[in-house]
Amino acid sequence: MISRQASAKNSLLLTLLLGAATLPGAAQAQPYGRGNLGGGFIEMLMTGRDPSPRAAAPIPTPGAPLGVPPAQWPAPQPMTAPRYASLPQGGPPEPMGRIERGFAPRFERQVVEYDGPHAAGTIVIDSPNKFLYLVQGGGKALRYGIGVGRPGFTWAGVKTITRKAEWPGWTPPPEMLKRRPDLPAHMEGGPDNPLGARAMYLGSTLYRIHGTNEPNTIGQNVSSGCIRLRNEDVEDLYSRVRVGTKVIVI
């Protein structure tokens, strides 16, 4: 037989379960899960432990200093600027490793080993392999990729630079105008001029070492006998040589 004390205890518990929200001073459970009076509320009554979900700890921001309030975090740093290769004559910056459309990386300007017989300061043009060498001395040379004469317009010999010009104008010779009557009689220097940014005239001939507005032609047989380089390369070469420089074409 159940004692009156136990019966009174059970009645009190039942009253709490059915009408706890109306008891004076009763704590109001916060919404959680599927209802306000779930198993967690009963657990609190029976055990005295509060099963309410704890606020989740904030997820740390990558790189944020530990233990420092967000208001005191340092300002984010800007992305590192890209590196650029230096160009002569104050030209526009060129991104490192830039590869122009149709321009093979092997024709990039670079220092190479050189064991030939020519003195420092001599220009050696290897037409078959499409390279121009500026001998530096000490077993080194500065090598540039070039475009050379197309079949029937290649040549070999020894010349000297007799004149230098920046952004030269171009007057096609009569024989070229005969082949290409669509060409202008004269074109002033500028970005659209086929002689490019610089020209070095060879002896008393019509041949030149010059730049180009078609850098994709470097490494090809394309000219009427002139030696062409990219504008940034011809500017570099132009700054290193003087009138009187020997040019050997092989």
* Residue 234 pLDDT > 90: yes
Determine the average pLDDT of the residues in 8-23.
49
Residue 226 a catalytic site member: yes
Strands (E), the chain: 84-85, 94-95, 110-113, 123-126, 131-137, 140-145, 148-149, 157-166, 198-202, 208-210, 221-223, 227-228, 246-249
Alpha helices by DSSP H, the chain = 4-19, 39-47, 174-179, 231-240
Determine the average pLDDT of the residues in 62-69.
54
8 Å CB contact between 210 and 168: yes
Out of 123, 199, 226, 247, the active site residue is 226
Domain ranges of the chain: 104-249
Identify the pLDDT of residue 170. Answer: 87
pLDDT in tens, 82-94: 332 333 344 333 3
8 Å CB contact between 202 and 247: yes
Q: Between these two residues, 91 and 131, which has the higher pLDDT value?
A: 131
Out of 210, 230, 241, 247, the active site residue is 210
Identify the pLDDT of residue 202. Answer: 98
Determine the average pLDDT of the residues in 191-208.
94
8 Å CB contact between 43 and 50: no
Identify the pLDDT of residue 72. Answer: 63
Least confident range from 70-84, 85-99, 144-158: namely 85-99
Tally the residues of the chain: 250
CATH architecture of 104-249: Beta Barrel (2.40)
Determine the average pLDDT of the residues in 27-56.
45
